[in-house]
Chain A
Amino acid sequence: MSWFDRMFRRQRLYDELSEELREHIEEKTEQLMRIEGLSRSEARQAALRAFGNLTLLEEKSRVVWQWSTLESIFADLKLTLRRLRRAPGFAVIVLLTLAIGIGANTAVFSVINSVLLKPLPYPGSNQLLGLRLDAPGAGGLASISNGLAVSPSMYLTFAEHNRSFQSIGLWSPSTANVTGIEQPEWVQADQVSDGVLQTLEVPPLLGRWFTPADQDPHGSKTAMLSYGYWQRRFGGDRSVIGRAIQVDAQTRTIVGVMPRGFRMVDNDFDLLIPMAIDRSKLKLAPFCCNGIGRLKPGVSIAQANADIARLIPLWMDSWSNGPGTDPHWYEHWKIAPNFRLLKSQVIGDIGNVLWVVMATIGIVLLIVCMNVANLLLVRAESRHQELSIRAALGAGRARIARELLVESVVLGLIGGALGVGVAAAGLRLLVSIGPANLPRLSEVSLDARSIAFTFVISLLSGLLFGSLPVWKYVFLRGSARLSGSGRTASQSRERHRARNILVVIQVAMALVLLVCALLMVRTFAALHNVDPGFADAPHIQTVSTWIPDQLITDEQTVTRIENNIIDKFSAIPGVTSAGFARAVPMDGNEPNWDNLFVQGKNYEGNNPPLRFFNYVSPSYFNAMGTRFVAGRDFTWTDIYNLNHAVIVSENFARETWGSASAAIGKQVRQSSDTPWQDVIGVVEDVHVRGVDEEAPATIYWPTMLRSPYEPKAPITASRFITFAVRSDRAGTASLLSEMQQAVSSVNANLPLASVQTMQEIYSKSLARTSFTLVMLGIAAAMALALGIIGIYGVISYAVSQRTREIGIRLALGAQKRELRWMFVRSALVLTGVGVFVGLGAAVAVAQLIRTLLFGVSPLDPLSFVVVPVILVLAAAFASFLPASRVTTVNPVDALRAE
């Protein structure tokens, strides 16, 4: 008989045993009657006496078949489940709070696991570096996505002369128009150099990688597809290799398909296009692209940085910015490599936010455990007599402790199992509303590690909240309390201490979370109070388009098309104004940063600081609601006549000339080769990178202008532009379809992309703050609710236990009001102690979240006053309800009950 059979056949064995014993006694009885002539009952007595303790014997016989420990834990388990079934209210409350507490922790841990802990999905990803450079002299240019990006000339120098990397590649997220289908389609078409895929080491699903020949601008034009685009556009047809596709009015041959789930570092692309690198035309600038490299085995990041640092002067010697320019001009930028693990570059500083959220949710789980412990204490209290009797009858402490612990661990594990469901739902919600700038969000999932985490915290929670009753009833008390009846014992202060301490801790933790949440609310409000530099964002519709030079070569024509589109937009009913710029605020684009010389200023041989450049059409500011502080807007005449006019931001005007009005008529230029430009207008400051960052000093150029660097192409137009259309109908499908029609009527090959209102762009830029706010808010609300429940529970239990005392007091003439106050006061005392402890903790925690705050001090007096007041009021409320139950006590009944 295997142990497995035995498990199931055991019941039969036991039954047989009982029958056998009954039979034995029966036979003995009859024999005694027969031989000794006893009556049946006498004989039976004698037989039983001879036999001894029947139950005990039966048990001892059974023991033979058991693994005793496991078996009795099973028995405890069964008993626990039965007991829970008998107290469904208790079970539901405990399991629900646990499910939410554990579920929230699991969800947040899954996010942390997927975003921070899991390696990037490339083989040997700990050898992959993101190539970014420090350039303290480059101002705003080097602060785009944490550092200066790599220029194509740098890439070639690094790739050909380094000693540390197996391979280096360059890539840049980009978009393209795919035509030749029903509607022109705007796709994510990342540009990649040869070496990128080789560095990431992910082989194509079909076809081949790009080779050096593909990036020859005069060679054959090729493209690769993402798995998703291959499915969507070609239905997963395997014969797609070799087929042609029209990308930006250029025919390209499909040479490969990347496998499912492959992403370009943190970018979901449709197409990969080889970066056209023409060695003969390469310059030192532009610093456009993301570099990635795979380290040779055994090479450290520091060694790689040192290796590349050596190549910076070589780079400056190898290329120039055109004839007559100084190649060592970039020396004052103090460029130095600052390569980091690709993963840490992708993650950025989101780690702070996530760990804060994890800690917060962890605190909530602790509070949940406190609450459950509290409920268990109440239960243990009501079982106090049973436990004492069992102890008196010789049940070992370990035995009772085990039973109590089994109960709480079972609760923890069931709660955890439910929590997994909560977490799955929560994650789905999170991914769907997910903050746009949370990296790797698409990778978030409940994997084995998250489940293991859930199991561990469920187990630990169970042991944690279970250990309190054990400690209190088993080890502290032993069996000495059998004598006192439940009622008298309950009045001792000592008995309440554990539960009071729990309430104090709960209040303290709730205070910490509420203070943090309020600080985030204040941050959010402060951010909203910042004037972003545009007005009435919900009524600004933005759409982007891109006119590739393969489609329209002539720059004048490009500008005329764009002008026509604006005219058509303006004619749409309900549109009050329309314009465009190369970048609208907070959309992540930064068209240019460059030096700007101010006439009459002496830079003493140095270069003037870099300024943010944007390129705008007439009436763009009008459409955005950006106020003119002085001067006037561009006109289309300014544009077509290539008038030497610029508009500057107010902060630039003040910094340079002292006031906005003083700027009008002053002159600036980009370099000594370009003509002076007249400042014709000054506009208010715009927070291009979000309201939490300073508005950069900005120069607005006409959308078409003489190119300072291209003698052969004297005029450049803005080909990638974003329209801003002000209308009450912004965001409606009807407006969009009318805009689409307007664009098609001008040129049928132009798709519209990035359709969003400024309000959406604005909200996205606040996504990280709102994410933190929402998470902290949820946590704080849970903490507050649990805290209130805790106080309520303690007071109502106290009231119920002291019914007799209340009765006596009432009989002796105490006022009900006084009695109520007695209970409320004890709640307020507990709360007061909790608030006091919590304030200390909150001061420390607020320092930790300092970097998340904006426009509010970590010691914000308002937050530190409002929260304690809220808590005290909540405590008063939570205790008043049960306390008012004293009025229902009838003194006579209360006394008679004794």
Chain B
Amino acid sequence: MENSQTTSRDLFPGALEMMILESLRRQPAHGYALVQHIQQRSNNLLQVEEGSLYPALQRLLKAKLVKAEWTVSPATNRRVRVYQITKNGLLHLEREISSFDRMLEGIQMVLGPQKRNANS
């Protein structure tokens, strides 16, 4: 319970899913690799709660935005479940990104003048 609350305070709802989809768009990956990837891409700014990754993955699976397949990882030679983004996932991701962009723009417009005032 505590975990989920802190994560959702750090990230807005849907952010984690969006980042997972974006990572998978570049390259299919299994859970552990996704954690690594998101952390690297964000220059360790975003510390993904490893645990909360899996419920998110399950949600994406259920919504058919990603699909999963068991393969043997060539690096570690172990059985891993590799996730791949689906067509629906791609569409969803684009929609999410554009709405995120708009939101970000909106937030910046609201914050913008204040920033200027504070600076001046």
Contact = CB atoms under 8 A, between A and B. Distances in A.
Interface in A14-65: 16-17, 19-21, 23-24, 26-28, 30, 50-54, 56-58, 60-65
B81 A16 contact: yes
A51 B51 contact: yes
Contact of B50 (A17, A52, A56, A58): A52
Interface stretch (B13-21, B53-61, B87-95, B104-112): B53-61
A879 B76 CA distance: 73
Nearest to B33: A27
Contacts of A56: 1, 3
B31 A61 contact: no
Given A23-B32, A27-B32, A57 B78 contact: no
B59 A28 contact: no
Given A24-B32, A53-B3, A65 B58 contact: yes
A17 B59 CA distance: 13
A60 B50 contact: no
B54 A20 contact: yes
B78 A26 contact: yes
A24 B55 contact: no
Nearest to A63: B55
B51 A57 contact: yes
A20 to B, nearest CB: 5
A51 B50 contact: yes
Interface residues of B, number: 23
B5 to A, nearest CB: 12
Contacts of B79: 19, 23
Contact of A64 (B50, B58, B76): B58
Nearest to A52: B51
A53 B51 contact: yes
Given A20-B81, A23-B78, A52-B3, A28 B32 contact: yes
Nearest to B36: A31
Contacts of A63: 55
Nearest to B73: A27
Most buried by A among B50, B61, B81: B50
Most buried by B among A21, A23, A58, A65: A23
B62 interface: yes
B97 interface: no
Given A27-B78, A60-B4, A64-B59, A21 B32 contact: no
Contacts of A27: 32, 76, 78
A28 B50 contact: yes
B3 A17 contact: no
Contacts of A62: 58
A63 B54 CA distance: 11
Nearest to A26: B78
Given A23-B79, A24-B50, A65 B62 contact: yes
B32 A64 contact: no
A56 B50 CA distance: 13
Given A20-B31, A20-B81, A23-B80, A64 B51 contact: no
B58 A61 contact: yes
Most buried by B among A17, A24, A58: A24
A63 to B, nearest CB: 8
A57 B54 contact: yes
A25 to B, nearest CB: 9
A60 B57 CA distance: 11
B101 interface: no
Contacts of A21: 54
A27 B49 CA distance: 16
A36 to B, nearest CB: 15
Nearest to A58: B54
A17 B52 CA distance: 13
A56 B49 CA distance: 14
A27 B52 CA distance: 17
A23 B72 CA distance: 12
Contacts of A30: 76
Contacts of B51: 51-54, 57
A67 to B, nearest CB: 12
A62 B59 CA distance: 10
A27 B31 CA distance: 10
Contact of B54 (A28, A50, A53, A61): A61
A56 B58 CA distance: 14
Most buried by B among A50, A54, A57: A57
Contacts of B57: 61
Nearest to B75: A27
Interface in B25-78: 30-32, 49-52, 54-55, 57-59, 61-62, 70, 76, 78
A15 to B, nearest CB: 12
Given A28-B32, A60-B4, A17 B54 contact: yes
A26 to B, nearest CB: 7
A62 B51 CA distance: 13
Nearest to A47: B50
Interface string A69-108: 0000000000000000000000000000000000000000
Contacts of A61: 54-55, 57-58
A64 B4 CA distance: 14
26 contacts: A16-B70, A16-B81, A17-B54, A19-B79, A20-B30, A20-B80, A23-B78, A23-B79, A23-B81, A24-B32, A30-B76, A50-B50, A52-B51, A53-B3, A54-B51, A57-B3, A57-B51, A57-B54, A57-B55, A58-B54, A60-B4, A61-B54, A61-B57, A64-B62, A65-B58, A65-B62
- Sort A-B residue pairs by CB-CB distance and give the 8 closest, nearest first: A64-B58, A52-B51, A57-B51, A27-B32, A61-B55, A61-B58, A61-B54, A60-B55
